[in-house]
Amino acid sequence: MFLKPVLAITTVILFHYGYYADGNVSLSDGYIYITVIENISVTISVYALVLFYHAVQKELSPFRPIAKYLCVKAIILFAMWQAILVAVGNYYNVSVSFFYIDEKW
């Protein structure tokens, strides 16, 4: 929550000076560093949420929140990793299309 605005401002500054290009995974570009920091932040926040659940597991047991939690986190993490994989594939000129679309369509 606190890190996301800082990373957004850093991204804008890096972009302004030409050191950020979305999807550029070169070590001389800021995208890779911003992405790594975001991934570490998300991992720590998920871990903290699991610790919180373990602390209040008895109180939350009537609501069975684990399935809901896993669904929401799976969607968020899938979307984030999908964007990263597409960016890396795009950088290395690898087709990341899962469906072949015929040009006759």
| The two three-digit tokens of residue 41, written as one number | 């932040």
Check residue 97 and give its pLDDT.
59
Helix (DSSP H) and strand (DSSP E) numbers for the chain: 4, 0
Tell me the C-alpha distance between 105 and 100, whole Å: 11
User: 75 vs 29, 58, 68, 70, 78, CA distance in Å?
Assistant: 28, 26, 11, 9, 5
Indicate the domain borders of the chain.
3-91
Query: Residues in the chain, how many?
Result: 105
Q: What is the mean pLDDT of residues 32-42?
A: 89
pTM score: 0.71
Tell me the C-alpha distance between 10 and 72, whole Å: 28
> What confidence category does residue 12 fall into, taking pLDDT thresholds of 50, 70 and 90?
very high
